[in-house]
Structure 1
């Protein structure tokens, strides 16, 4: 009996042995770093060793099972005049982002990361070993080279939902007839015109990706990883084979939103993973402010990427005046201390503990740009929202929130203060929005496993099964012409053409015989 017991014990110990995981979040976008820190935090809490490549290094990093690769100099990519202000977007009427621009943004950020001094030193160390790569995904698959270098499974973390751009990497992309682009404002069901728009958008995206972006990515991939593998006596696999070799994709989407397309087995939702439970307590001044707000609190934030301080100064003054006319307390996340004539009921904060504010029972509504993190938090805590979308996926997120009945939409314009006040009064006087918002947390929380433990389980599962290849869709191995039965259509066309040709020849021959007989008679 001793041998089976010892063998079982050995298997248990092997099963719980910690993994070495490279977590890479290289984009200079503050909100994405929150997602990356959450991924690292949950993996460390489960006993795994994490190497965290980040643009925003932790100031007080854990002493155990954790190290950082600092690429903070990448912030220069979006500093100063590199990114437009809200004032510029407003004055130039930039209604949506270009998919081409975002592809180039992701590609250039990857180039900067892979050529960073700290990263190059890290990659050239032959003693580095990892059991899994978990990295951010936005419009470039260049980081899949990490999985090639370390010969381990590749896991992507996508900061948005089940969009065709990511689903195409592990399955057949959903039809544009019901799966709008993440930059689109269209919501299902789509009209004929909208379906044509979505088809054309997809054609444009695929054309630029195939003939421009991906060619340059291939060159970067070969120049970075080729020499390193050559030193180790290995051959660099083809880039197109590598980018479609992911074991799993995690999506930062939640379970309480309708209109989601079907997804393959290796696509997992972890929306809300960044929300700590229980939420951190508010600092004393904010706690006292919200506790003593008899008429409730309105929270206003335009996110971290495009900040409130970049609004036109005239518009800021009008917003302050409008907020001052409300009975409610207004907490405004504003990144500048130079504001003057701030009304007594308005509290300016440079950086807000957003989940803690939204969790407070006195919160009335959330005025938001509609970023996915903010959208998830609003649903998680059951707070009605007024969306003011600016760029990227914000338009889609706000439209979904309106469709789900817990939000209103106000367009970004020079008339924002007036239009926003109208929306605020509608929401204050109509309980439907609040009631609907309070229904959604039950749907969001009613899942078999919370997002943090789910992420840990699936990363460990991929590690245990050496890539979870059995979860992958067979569609990736079926060429497009076979999926569309173009070969069958070609055969049918060829047979039909042959039959028509033969019949026409027979008819002509028969007609010729008849004509000959008439002439001879």
Structure 2
């Protein structure tokens, strides 16, 4: 009886302790995180991280434009702050840019990348003019800034592709974490890490890490072109803002480099190997996951393909259509395949569409790519879609359209997992040949399966890695101990030019001294000889 009484008293205590262990908040729970994202496909992957942070008990506040394409004004799991950030109402901008890109692609292989980068420079000129004015308006609003300061945020999480978040976070003196792939200066690595141009292709150059002399020359010219855009297009728009709101000597680069943690949406099974830094963490493919069951109609379509399987095509979120002639050529090529085709398509139905092709306005891309019937993925080359293809081991026929998409496809092509087709010169026969090559040559699928295996062979998932380091920065109120001292050095010290000048001066002094001694000795001998004569 006494034993039963004791047990009846002990069990509730044990249960209470177990509940406290299971449901106790972590050291970072209920942290206040201020988020400044970038709209479009950038938001799609930022949202995935934010939902995971919210599920772990953090309070999320998202600052965005009221006219955002994808970021909702009303959400059950984050608080919205609407500000004027970027004129994102003109969705036709990307279609106009696409037409200009197609014109550039008609140039020679050497010149077309410079043409494309000039288009990007023009876009930066317009975009940063507006952005600098928007940020200045935010920082000049003293009541609004006091409200942000009084909220006591613990962290700024931002996508530095646009500098709004880094400027605001720097002004508020918040620990800063980047969810990053691109910055206004281009590829993140060229900002944060040593990047020898001899074997590291500059963004936009469409080169690999194996470069001959002419390609290294092209790579260097792209680097100089980027420096010119940074110093003569981007920086001038922020000079007045920086003078008024930041310490003397501040510039965009110094503020960028002050970030505590860089969560880079990349994986070296996809990127070319290169130097990196201690506060750079790679989370490429963090949005990928096991395929879920498809809706009944899609599952029936996939199963109807039999042993031939299905080809999936999607051109992403920003550009959903090419020219009418190109669409007709693509549809006609699809009609000649024995495979079924699932095509995410918006616009007028092509007249050459075959009975084997199903047009849909939306598809669960990750789940379709993970379906055992999927044989190939026709993609524009966005990183989200390509990492999903890598995760599920699906070879790619690339149809790049804009920006980094050409280089993304190139990286898979170099690894034998993709074919590239030029949208501007696409023909039915050429597209069909590329499709059949990828579908019928086993090496494409085998190489992609190998990449998939390497991509998933990790001690911790990319999502868990991202969340760990975000909470690490919150717990430790920053990560300054991971920042390299080189960022605070003037450029001449960083490259040891002052040391080179010193050694040059010493060498010159020694040579001059030796010359003087020799001349003096020779003159003495000459004078002695003259006296003797």
Label 1:435 to 1:93 Cα distance change in 2 as closer, same or farther (>3 A): closer
Larger RCO: 1 or 2 (CA < 8 Å, sep 6+): 1
Q: Compute the displacement of 1:268 (Å).
A: 0.8
Q: Helix, strand or coil: the match of 2:266?
A: coil
Cα displacement string for residues 344-399 of structure 1 (whole angstroms, at most 9, x for unaligned residues): 11111223321121111110100111121111111011101111222211121111
Matches within 5 A, 1:345-356: 345-356=356-367
Distance 1:201 1:48 in 2: 42
Question: Aligned match of 2:61 in 51, 55, 65?
Answer: 51
Instruction: Say if 1:365 and 1:385, in contact at 8 Å, map to a contact too.
Output: yes
Label 1:124 to 1:342 Cα distance change in 2 as closer, same or farther (>3 A): farther
Distance 1:243 1:458 in 2: 18
Cα displacement string for residues 118-150 of structure 1 (whole angstroms, at most 9, x for unaligned residues): 996754525332111111122x54532222333
Q: Helix, strand or coil: the match of 1:413?
A: helix
Matches within 5 A, 1:192-211: 192-211=213-232
Q: Helix, strand or coil: the match of 1:426?
A: helix
Structure 2 counterpart of 1:305: 318
Distance 2:188 2:503 in 1: 34
Question: Aligned match of 1:382 in 389, 393, 402?
Answer: 393
Matched, 1:433 2:444: yes
Structure 1 counterpart of 2:49: 39
Structure 1 counterpart of 2:255: 242
Matched, 1:326 2:349: no
Q: Helix, strand or coil: the match of 1:15?
A: coil
| Most deviating of 50-59 and 321-330 | 50-59
Q: Helix, strand or coil: the match of 1:263?
A: coil
Distance 1:408 1:287 in 2: 27
Label 1:22 to 1:56 Cα distance change in 2 as closer, same or farther (>3 A): farther
| Most deviating of 199-208 and 107-116 | 107-116
Structure 2 counterpart of 1:130: 153
> Structure 2 length as normaliser, TM-score?
0.83
Instruction: Say if 2:69 and 2:88, in contact at 8 Å, map to a contact too.
Output: no
Supply the RMSD in Å over aligned alpha carbons: 3.2
Q: Compute the displacement of 1:514 (Å).
A: 4.2
Q: Compute the displacement of 1:463 (Å).
A: 0.9
Q: Helix, strand or coil: the match of 1:300?
A: strand
Matches within 5 A, 1:313-462: 313-340=324-351, 342-462=353-473
Matches within 5 A, 1:101-140: 101=122, 103-104=124-125, 107-108=128-129, 110-111=131-132, 114=135, 122-123=144-145, 125=147, 126-138=149-161, 140=162
Distance 2:122 2:451 in 1: 35
Cα displacement string for residues 99-125 of structure 1 (whole angstroms, at most 9, x for unaligned residues): 534543652463365368899675452
Q: Compute the displacement of 1:180 (Å).
A: 1.0
Q: Helix, strand or coil: the match of 1:137?
A: coil
Aligned length: 495
Distance 2:140 2:291 in 1: 34
Cα displacement string for residues 83-113 of structure 1 (whole angstroms, at most 9, x for unaligned residues): 5254553345364431534543652463365
Distance 1:331 1:318 in 2: 16
Distance 1:461 1:404 in 2: 35
Distance 2:97 2:213 in 1: 35
Q: Helix, strand or coil: the match of 2:151?
A: coil
Distance 1:389 1:506 in 2: 68
Structure 2 counterpart of 1:144: 166
Q: Helix, strand or coil: the match of 1:365?
A: strand
Structure 1 counterpart of 2:283: 270
Structure 2 counterpart of 1:289: 301
Q: Helix, strand or coil: the match of 2:36?
A: strand
Q: Helix, strand or coil: the match of 2:459?
A: coil
Instruction: Say if 1:129 and 1:150, in contact at 8 Å, map to a contact too.
Output: no
Matches within 5 A, 1:479-498: 479-498=490-509
Distance 1:73 1:211 in 2: 22
Instruction: Say if 2:290 and 2:367, in contact at 8 Å, map to a contact too.
Output: no
Distance 1:358 1:365 in 2: 8
Structure 2 counterpart of 1:159: 181
| Most deviating of 346-355 and 121-130 | 121-130
Label 1:449 to 1:436 Cα distance change in 2 as closer, same or farther (>3 A): same
Instruction: Say if 1:32 and 1:159, in contact at 8 Å, map to a contact too.
Output: no
Distance 2:464 2:74 in 1: 21
Task: Give the gaps of 5 or more residues in structure 1.
Answer: 227-234
Task: Give the gaps of 5 or more residues in structure 2.
Answer: 1-16, 107-111
Label 1:221 to 1:332 Cα distance change in 2 as closer, same or farther (>3 A): farther
Structure 1 counterpart of 2:267: 254
Distance 1:89 1:425 in 2: 27
Distance 1:475 1:283 in 2: 54
Instruction: Say if 1:251 and 1:269, in contact at 8 Å, map to a contact too.
Output: yes
Structure 1 counterpart of 2:512: 501
Q: Compute the displacement of 1:13 (Å).
A: 5.6
Question: Aligned match of 2:238 in 217, 224, 235?
Answer: 217
Cα displacement string for residues 400-446 of structure 1 (whole angstroms, at most 9, x for unaligned residues): 10122211222223333221100111122211111222222221111
Label 1:34 to 1:185 Cα distance change in 2 as closer, same or farther (>3 A): same
Cα displacement string for residues 262-320 of structure 1 (whole angstroms, at most 9, x for unaligned residues): 31111011112223x44454333222211222121111122222322xx2212222222
Structure 2 counterpart of 1:230: none
Distance 2:365 2:124 in 1: 30
